[in-house]
Structure formats: structure tokens, C-alpha cells
Amino acid sequence: MNRRTFIKQSAVATASTTILTFPVYGKNAPSNKVVVGIMGVNSRGAYHAKSFSKLPNVEVAYLCDVEDNAIKNGLDALKGVSRQPAIIKDIRELVARKDFDALLIAAPDHWHAPAALMGVSNGKHVYVEKPCSHNPHESEMLIEARAKYGRLIQVGSQRRSFPTLIEAVNEVRGGIIGNPYFAKAWYTNNRKPIGIGKKIPVPGTLDFNLWQGPAPRQEYRDNLVHYNWHWFWNWGTGEACNNGNHELDCCRWFMGVDFPSTVTSSGGRFAYKDDWQTPDTQVASFEFANGKAISWEGRSCNSFPVEGSGRGFIIYGDKGTLVNKGGGDYQIFDTQNKLVKEIKPGTKLDPNNTVSATGDLEMTHFANFVDSVRGNAQLTAPIEEGHKSVLLCHLANIAQRTGSTLHCDATNGHIKDNKAAMQLWKREYEKGWGMAL
């Protein structure tokens, strides 16, 4: 049996399976079960499938992807589960189904907000990976959608659920390093050139029209799918949104700041000459109206570490300093740079792992989402906070692309008096695919 036949038969065999197969009473009662569908299962989404299937009384009912090999990856991640999921390639068809509770989104960036909107408008709770939008306007729309449809939207800012970092935030807010006035974040990698893509026929295993979805149509090239789309503005959002999002979110969280008043960015595609459009080297700075600032350094193609780690953040206060090296760890130093506290959560960090940089620590974030769907918890990374953090990344990219200093309204982050920059607040959509509440 070939792969495509296998996938089609899997879909048919599972489409009619009854969702509620657990005992009527107790913690595994149907009323407590959370049934999920997953969009985008090539790598991160396959990790979602494996991870969520391990949570108590959670069932993965559907996998949604537009590429046959990706679907196989998702199915492989669920080997051994009691029920194999149904396969639906078109997200519009999936969200219309009434027999599941939550949509998990790990598709390419240009799909995150449109799919999330489709989910909540069809009554589904949504877990959407970072970045929660392809541009600032999209995540603002998701905030409106959450309010309108009354569904939960959790953003994949996993560190907000790490018990050790929650503890660290409380310590900073309790004054352990005094007034936190400056934060520095970084991310490094050793990404190789992607070359000059050749326009070739779309592989028979890929529905490229559905893959592009809301993005304006461009021809297929051989250096785009599966990962290199990150570096093309039509589909991706660059390293700032891809990885900087995590540490910038932590900086904002620890410092208690929301929207910036001034944003600058310098850098470019420096390491290689190829099709890569977004910066591989970027230094962005954010100033806030309350006398605080954040900086982020991204080096996609030079992995020399900072503080001995490929990623992390530092919070500087007037009475000490807190250092995080990318995971659930942290160190606190006094004003004489003496170590006064160190937490090592025991999970080894792999900062360049494209599937899960922080390993099993992420299960706390997935569990928080499921518990919130059940009504037993509150989201640790709701869309309102996710928007504020991804907005820093978007503003950094907008400043970089326009070569300008951005002056922003400190109450909502909107760009002031800069027509070129303001044009990048939104995007154009393929006809018939626009987002609408």
C-alpha cells in the first residue's frame, strides 16, 4: 500500500468513530474530556499530537495538513493511541465539524491568525503557536474575535507556564532586584544558506493552493517548503517573530510593560547572498514611556553564545540582576554581582531545536490550556498578552524594513506619523481569503 492510499484509508476508517468512548462517571467522564484537532503536523504539530495525547482525558480526533509526508509524521506521532485520528486537509472543512472542542495551530505563520479566527468563529477554543499573527492588525482582530465569540485563545508562549519562571516573576515583582529598568534578550543559530530557488512544478504530495491559503499567490520554488518559508515576507515573519518572540515576551512579562513608545532596528541579510528576505542579523531596541527599555539581538547565522547560551534574557534592576539562559532556569545576582540564588529545573535546553527547545517543560503550558478549556484554570498566555509581545517583533521588523525610527502610541502600540511604516500594519490577502469578524 502506498502512502497516499494509506492516508486516504485512515481518513475513511476514522471519520465515523464516536468521540465519546470513556466511562460516564469520574475524572474521565465525557464531560471532562477535551477533544482536539491539529492544523499543521509536519514537525511542531506532530509534537503537539504526541504531547496532547499524553494529557489525561485528552483525545486527538483530527489532523489537518496539506502535505502527505507531514500527515504521516502526525500519524507516526500517535502510534499506540487507542483511536487513530481522521485526516482532513482543508481547515475550512475541519472547523465546521461539531465533534471536537479545541483547535491547535502549528501551520506556517501566515496561517496562524486566519485559522485561529476560523476556529473561534466556529465555536472552538484555540491554541495558536507563536507568532500569533503575521502582522499587528491580525492579532488585534483575534482579541476582538475572542470577545465576540467567547472562546479561549492561548498563545504558544510556553515559558509563561513554567513554574520556576512564574516564581521568578513574583520575586522580581517583590523587589528582589529592585526596579527592573532594562532587559536584554538574544537568540543565536548557525543556519545555512537557502540558495536561489528554482521554480519547479508543485510536488504531487502537496496542495500548494491550500498551503498558501490567505497569502497572495506566488509560484512554487524548491527552497520554500518545509522550513525556509520563515525567511520570506509573504509567508514568514523572520527570526524576530520565530524565536525572538519567546524571550521578548519574557522581558515584557518580567518588567511589567505593555506597549513601546519608540522602536528602532538595525541589521539585514548579511551572512549569505540568496533568496532569504528577512534579517539574519538584527538588533532591535524598544523604549517604554515609564522609563524602561528592552533590546533583542538575533544572529541566525552565527551561533556564538551569549552568557554561555544560544538564547536567553537578562533583567537589570537597580538592586540586582536576573539571568535566564533560555529554559526554566534563572540566576539572581546582587549589585556586587554575587550570586544569591540559582534555580536549575533539570530539563536540558536545546536552543536550536525547531520542534521543542525546552522539552517536557512545555507540557505545563499544554496542560494549562486544557485545564482552562475545562474551566479549572485561567490561561497563562491569553491572546491579549500574546498580541503585546508579538507586536514588539512586528514593530522591530517594520522599523527594519522601512529604515526608520518608529514613534508609537504608548497606549496601544500604534505607529504615529509614518505612512510607509503604517502600511505594514496590515497585509493584502488572496481574493476570497481575507479575515473578517
**Would 359 be classed as within a structural domain?**
no
pLDDT in tens, 152-192: 999 999 999 999 999 999 999 999 999 999 999 999 999 99
CB 387 within 8 A of CB 140: yes
Reply yes or no on whether the pLDDT at 17 is more than 80: no
- Please indicate, yes or no, whether residues 258 and 165 belong to a single structural domain of this protein: yes
Instruction: Report the mean per-residue pLDDT for the chain.
Output: 92
Number of helices (H) and strands (E) in the chain: give both, helices first: 13, 15
Cβ neighbors of 57 (< 8 A, separation 6 or more) are: 22, 27, 28, 32, 33, 34
CB 391 within 8 A of CB 246: no
- Please indicate, yes or no, whether residues 133 and 270 belong to a single structural domain of this protein: no
User: What's the pLDDT band for 83 if we cut at 50, 70, 90?
Assistant: confident
Cell of 177: 532586584
- Please indicate, yes or no, whether residues 267 and 409 belong to a single structural domain of this protein: yes
- Please indicate, yes or no, whether residues 143 and 123 belong to a single structural domain of this protein: yes
Q: Region 136-144: what's the mean pLDDT?
A: 98
Reply yes or no on whether the pLDDT at 285 is more than 50: yes
User: What's the pLDDT band for 345 if we cut at 50, 70, 90?
Assistant: confident
DSSP string of 48-60, one letter each residue: HHHHHHHSTTEEE
- Please indicate, yes or no, whether residues 103 and 192 belong to a single structural domain of this protein: no
- Please indicate, yes or no, whether residues 298 and 172 belong to a single structural domain of this protein: yes
Distance, CA of 102 to CA of 429 (rounded, Å): 26
- Please indicate, yes or no, whether residues 118 and 180 belong to a single structural domain of this protein: no
**Length of the chain, in residues:** 437
Cell of 81: 493511541
Among residues 381, 382, 425, which one has the least CA distance to residue 402?
Answer: 425
pLDDT in tens, 143-154: 999 999 999 999
- Residue 15: predicted pLDDT: 37
Distance, CA of 324 to CA of 332 (rounded, Å): 9
Kindly report the pTM of this predicted structure.
0.91
Cell of 435: 479575515
- Please indicate, yes or no, whether residues 177 and 135 belong to a single structural domain of this protein: no
- Please indicate, yes or no, whether residues 218 and 347 belong to a single structural domain of this protein: yes
Reply yes or no on whether the pLDDT at 370 is more than 60: yes
Q: What is the CATH number of the domain that holds 103?
A: 3.40.50.720
- Please indicate, yes or no, whether residues 261 and 390 belong to a single structural domain of this protein: yes
User: What's the pLDDT band for 349 if we cut at 50, 70, 90?
Assistant: low
What is the C-alpha radius of gyration for the chain, rounded to an integer number of angstroms? Answer: 21
Q: What is the CATH number of the domain that holds 217?
A: 3.30.360.10
- Residue 253: predicted pLDDT: 98
pLDDT in tens, 191-226: 999 999 999 999 999 999 999 999 999 999 999 999
User: What's the pLDDT band for 360 if we cut at 50, 70, 90?
Assistant: confident
User: What's the pLDDT band for 387 if we cut at 50, 70, 90?
Assistant: very high
What three-state secondary structure class fits 340? strand
Domains in the chain, number: 2
- Residue 4: predicted pLDDT: 46
- Please indicate, yes or no, whether residues 49 and 73 belong to a single structural domain of this protein: yes
Domain that holds residue 128: 3-159
